[in-house]
A and B are shown apart, each in its own frame.
Chain A
């Protein structure tokens, strides 16, 4: 129900460590935004600054057009779901959900109505009198969500809410959160995770952070297909994109790069003539590499060093002469290829990525 706007937001700890550097972000009403990034990138800090649990060192945070830097968490119109659920262990499920309303001195009847409505929605009605320790992990997670719902917040904040669940439950709860979002289309949701699958499946837009900076903001497929830089390219997708140092040999409509003295690739990416002879990075996703029968059909050849058969796919680790790192190729199904075999690889030109010497994509 609200826009969230961050302008030049910074977080500097007292020991001068800058954990967030100049964050600018516009979150629209009703959007599902996911902050994703490796641990230590500042994504949780950013969320906690929006919630009011961390002070904002510089810049402004607006919710619904109002600057809320100095407003206490409870008055910002937000609700937060914590990683460990943070249920009050000595209170029943009912009291856990009612706590914030009791603090706000809401009338008993109104509290009861809201708690029961939320419990109903999350199928928690039979458990209202239980203590958190008598609930399963998934139920606790739902109580934590219920506690957020009863406050009728403008913005929901989720701090890695699924990371304490086992794999099966995680998938189920992920879908529940997606359903929750559908049932409350007006609520803005901000969700922090380090898991790219959660990010890809839940987000309207992903905010990818690294070392205190926003690397890229965009829809999940946008980040997958058009990574803005090498970091994004390698972070999204599994196994990570192959990124090989190269040299630009020919610029123009079609850029030609050399990966080694023998391997030349032509990509449909446009470069200016000033880029001529510069060092660059050539990227190709493992799943975009195809094994072909002859050397002439492909653009890369090399010896297979490892074979990993996963069942639904096979990963080939290929040592290409002249390249330092192995190139990974992901092929559907099982292959007969063995260690020591020589393979030839091709790729569709539009699947190729090219990054300049500062690791920024040429395709903008």
Chain B
């Protein structure tokens, strides 16, 4: 109960503090430079001043937080990657030399590439297929809602769910994992799926595909509904069949949205960490960069230099998408 009370108080304080800042600073500004009455020339001057100051009152906290939590760390990570495990001594590029010489890195890099190819592709593909089909049936919304549901489940929760599916009982015991039960039912040999090197990666990827397909579906479904009916009707009159309409008329019109979905999932994949941590913790050849980085941060007191190097590899992989995003946003701004 005491915890609940103190939690409530801290919550209130946190939220109130934030509100007090915004109200206080703006009211103060209005008091110091009144703009609602007074002699015209003075008002004009005050207005100029407060119009210069106010944007920064609005933006201040956001800019500070972004700088402290995202911008500065990116710079500092680059610096740390040239320093030793405690971040005190400059060691040149030896962290990079270590990284590119380690088998573990190549294993995680290969796995990451696999994740990057398989997960966005599969999630987008399933999302598109399901979006197309559910738009045509009366219970489509219920189906969508159920397929979208895993989106709300944490990676760690999803890992428990799927670990249960992949569960393996040796010997003649009854299988309680669904996958092995199905295999046994069809006369196969039960397997300990998550320990089979290489293929176990795919069993982990299934979890993320399961989570992300709903996201792809929701967005692509909206894009499909945004296609003007006239173009489809024109194609029908031109004698196209369903498959041709889908690939030649509908898909090209939502190409931009497909790209957005694809890149969004790609970014998520690069950050994926919880699933690997929970399912295998990188054992049996399933290591990925994000988990490797986490490992180096905390393993044996932590090696900040090596952790930072892995972080930078992830960052470099993200940069092309970042540039593409900024270009797209700029084009949009000019379109306004």
Contacts and interface: CB of A to CB of B under 8 A. Distances in A.
Interface of A: 66, 68, 70-72, 74-75, 103-105
20 contacts: A66-B40, A68-B40, A70-B41, A70-B44, A70-B45, A70-B47, A70-B48, A71-B40, A71-B43, A71-B44, A72-B35, A72-B43, A72-B44, A72-B47, A74-B36, A75-B40, A75-B43, A103-B36, A104-B36, A105-B36
Contacts, number: 20
A354 B40 CA distance: 50
A66 B41 CA distance: 11
Contacts of B47: 70, 72
A71 B44 CA distance: 5
Nearest to A76: B40
A103 B37 CA distance: 11
A209 to B, nearest CB: 25
B215 to A, nearest CB: 31
B117 to A, nearest CB: 44
B contact residues, range: under 10
Interface of B: 35-36, 40-41, 43-45, 47-48
A110 to B, nearest CB: 16
A103 B35 CA distance: 12
A72 B36 CA distance: 9
Given A72-B44, A75-B43, A103-B36, 14 more contacts: A66-B40, A68-B40, A70-B41, A70-B44, A70-B45, A70-B47, A71-B43, A71-B44, A72-B35, A72-B43, A74-B36, A75-B40, A104-B36, A105-B36
A75 B35 CA distance: 9
What 10 A-B pairs come out closest when comparing CB atoms? A70-B44, A72-B47, A71-B40, A71-B44, A75-B43, A72-B35, A75-B40, A71-B43, A72-B43, A104-B36
A75 B37 CA distance: 8
| Central interface residue in B40, B43, B47, B48, by most chain A CB within 10 Å | B40
A104 B40 CA distance: 15
B276 to A, nearest CB: 47
Contacts of B36: 74, 103-105
A75 B44 CA distance: 10
A72 B48 CA distance: 10
Contacts of A68: 40
A71 B40 CA distance: 6
A74 B36 CA distance: 8
Nearest to B38: A75
Contacts of A72: 35, 43-44, 47
Contacts of B44: 70-72
Contacts of A74: 36
A74 B43 CA distance: 11
B128 to A, nearest CB: 36
Contacts of A105: 36
Contacts of B48: 70
B202 to A, nearest CB: 51
A299 to B, nearest CB: 51
Nearest to A104: B36
Nearest to A66: B40
B31 to A, nearest CB: 14
B147 to A, nearest CB: 34
A74 B45 CA distance: 15
Nearest to A70: B44
B200 to A, nearest CB: 54
Contacts of B40: 66, 68, 71, 75
B46 to A, nearest CB: 10
A74 B34 CA distance: 13
Nearest to B51: A72
B51 to A, nearest CB: 9
